Structure formats: C-alpha cells, structure tokens
Amino acid sequence: MKFNFIHPSSQARITRECSPSLSSIQILFGLALIVFIFSTSSAFAMTGQPTLELPKCSADKVFERRICQLSNSEAATEEISDGAKARIEGNNLTLSFKGQASSVRVNLEPGVEVPMVAKDLWQIRLHVPELAQAVAKVRFEIRNAIGETKKIPVDIRGADAPKADYSSNLIPGSQFKEFPIESKFLNAVRVVRVWLPPSYNPEHSYPVVYIGDGSAQFGNLLGREISTDQIAPFITVGIDNCGGAKSGKPWCRYEEYVPAPEKQRGNRQSFENHERFFLEDVIPFIEKEFSCEKSSAMRSISGFSSGADWAIAMAVRHPDLFSQVIAMSPPMSGHLAYQYPIGPKFFLSAGYFEPPIQESAVDVYKAIIKEGGKAEIWTFPYGHGNEVNFQTFKQAVALWLKK
C-alpha cells in the first residue's frame, strides 16, 4: 500500500511504499529513519527512495520561511547547455538538467522529482526566502533507461552569502587539547577534545559547552566576542563519535545518538551505553581536569543532525544537568514522543534546503512551548551543513553568556 507520512505542522509530504504487514508504529519509525538515512548517505539508489512533495507557491498564500515550488509555466526558454545548472533570480531558484535521462531528482533531504519541461530538459523552480544569503549544495540524481544513477553536485551561493568561517583556526591565546578516554561502557577508547579560551586561568571557573562529533573547535567562533568582553569566556568539550562508515559500522553514530524504541533493545543498548559514557566518564573527567562551573546554569549541550537529536535526548532525560540546549538541524526529534522539561532552554535551527528536518525542528519547538518550556527557533537559507551550525552556535552561546 502507499503510505503518506505528513508532518503535523508541515506542507511538505513524504511518500513511501510500505508493506501492509507492518504496524503503524513500525511504519512511522521506519519512515523517519529512512529520511535520516537519505540525509546522511550518498550510497542509495534512486529506486525505493522516499520522495518529498514541496508545497506549491500561490499568489494568495505566502509561505514564510520555507521553500515552495513555483509553477513551471515560466520555464526557461533560452538555450541551456548540457549538464546540471542553478540560476538565482531574486528569491527564485531554477534548477535545470539538460541531457538524456529517464527521471531526474534533486536532493533536498530527501529527493524532489524534477519535471521534464521540454525534450531532454528537466527543470524545477523554487521560491526560497533570503536567497541572496543562501549557501547550499544540492545533488542532482540522474537516472537512465537501464536504472543506473549518476549524481551531480551543484553549489548554491547567493550574492550576499556569508564567507567561510574558519572555526578550525585557533584564535590567539586559545588552546586545543585531546584526551583518549577508555570506557567500559563502550568497550572502546574514545577521544575527547577540549577548547580553552584565551588566557584560560585554572584559578577561575568557566561555563562549559559539551558538543557531539568532537566539534570543540566551535569555541573559536566566539573569539571576537570573548576578546572584546561581550560574553563570558567558556570551555568547549567535543566528544568524538564512533567513526560511522570509517569504523566499518555505518549505523553506529545513529544508534549512539538517537534513542530507539524500548523494544529495539539492540539499538537502544548502544544509546544507553553512550549515555553512560558521557555522564559517568566524560563529564567527571572534564570537571576534574579543568576549572569548570559545576552548576547546571553554566553547563550547555549541543549537536548537529543526529548529534542534535542526542543533545535534545540528554536534556530531556537529564534536565537537572543542563541549562541550555543547542540543537542544529535535528532530523529525528520531531518524530519522538518526548515529555519536554521546563528547565533547560532549547535553541533549535534548520535550513530552508532541508525541509523535512526544518519541520522536525518546528515540531520540537511547538512541543516544548506546549509543555510550558523555553525555546527559540531559527531558520536560515542554508543546506544541511556548517553554515547552520556556525550561525546557530554563535547566536545561542552569545545569548547565554552575554555580559
């Protein structure tokens, strides 16, 4: 049967073929999982992939802060050279492919079908808010008559797009340290990376931001604000992930970061083992080795993509430990039935070029507010990448530690 999964607050719809023997709960969780897989993997063939149906733009309906699909009645009539192209006109984006194909899709986490508007010309027109500031990479997926798929990446960069942010370059006076921690919970050694602010002094106590995927270098993003005394200096602790595909276990990052249903004990055990590693190994080690504020008011947790799901899960399960959650592009949390705490403040974000993930973030925001909690949500004209991360991290930490 054909099952349509519709986000409660969304105009975007994902269509998927499902077996009628599955329960509705299995189908829902499986669909959410499929969206996540597609957003983090380039190895999928086109057949059987989930399809994103974008809302249609119309004169009498304004789609604020989200992508919508324009009519192809104004499809390009000028000569277009062979290959994949992107053209920006105001807030309108035209994505075109010229060449032989049986079908064409553009990946917007997941894929959108591109209609054929003329012989060997495939084109889709989108309205994207703030397109002049856009930074994104879209991937055309060109399928031929015998089922082979070719993938062509195309960069989207508006005239006023932000310049690259050199978060990996240490700002003067800061320090970067690495510590291998052997964990009985993971039965492995995991590296923890620590960024110390300029003029770090062990005689003083500092707020701490814990962040997934080893991204301690994000502390560099606030170097100017620290040096000009706009915000309090802080420590950033990046906990390495399991290595994903590089480790030979492509699912391990997802299993450690996203709490599966209790009945899926295999995946659930990976999550709980990682949780204990973080709570019983990492935090005690950091608070012993460095001069940290040990109150929840001065402890924050952050992550991107599945790492954002992890940050949200830790705050939900341990609200007494963290005062702030920075969740950048959380793909799964909108599908998980959490009872959100009223203590921590949640900063959520997503890009326009990842519509289902944007809807997941919106769903989390609405659920928190409904429970009487504290949350802000920001959306940007970016894709699933560092631009969302950098902007969100800077804004959230600056608000948290503003003097």
What is the model's pLDDT at position 52? 87
Per-residue exposure over 348-370, b if at least 16 CB sit within 10 Å of its own CB, e if not: bbbbbbbbbbbbbbbbbbebbee
How far, in Å, are 130, 235, 255 from residue 66 at the CA level?
10, 35, 30
In this prediction, residue 162 carries a pLDDT of 87
Domain boundaries of the chain, sorted by first residue: 2-157, 175-401
The amino acid present at 388, given as its one-letter code, is V
Question: What is the architecture of the domain spanning 2-157?
Answer: Sandwich (2.60)
- Can you give the pLDDT at residue 309? 97
pLDDT for the residue numbered 268: 87
pLDDT at 312: 97
Contact by Cβ (8 Å): 125, 137: no
d(CA 217, CA 87): 34
**Residue 347 CA to its chain's centroid (Å):** 13
Does 3.40.50.1820 match the CATH number of domain 175-401?
A: yes
The amino acid present at 8, given as its one-letter code, is P
Instruction: Show pLDDT as tens, one digit a residue, over the chain (403 residues).
Output: 222 333 333 333 333 323 333 344 443 444 444 444 444 333 333 345 678 889 888 765 555 678 999 987 655 555 677 899 999 999 999 999 999 999 999 998 888 999 999 999 999 999 999 999 999 999 999 999 999 999 999 999 999 998 876 566 788 899 999 999 999 999 999 999 999 999 899 999 999 999 999 999 999 999 889 999 999 999 999 999 998 767 778 889 999 999 977 666 567 899 999 999 999 999 999 999 999 999 999 999 999 999 999 999 999 999 999 999 999 999 999 888 899 999 999 999 999 999 999 999 999 999 999 999 999 999 999 999 999 999 999 999 999 999 9
- What is the C-alpha to C-alpha distance for residues 291 and 335, in angstroms, rounded to an integer? 38
CB atoms within 10 A of CB 169: 10
Structure confidence at residue 300 (pLDDT): 98
Residues 6+ apart with CB under 8 A from 205: 291, 292, 293, 298
- How many angstroms separate the CA atoms of 315 and 207, rounded? 17
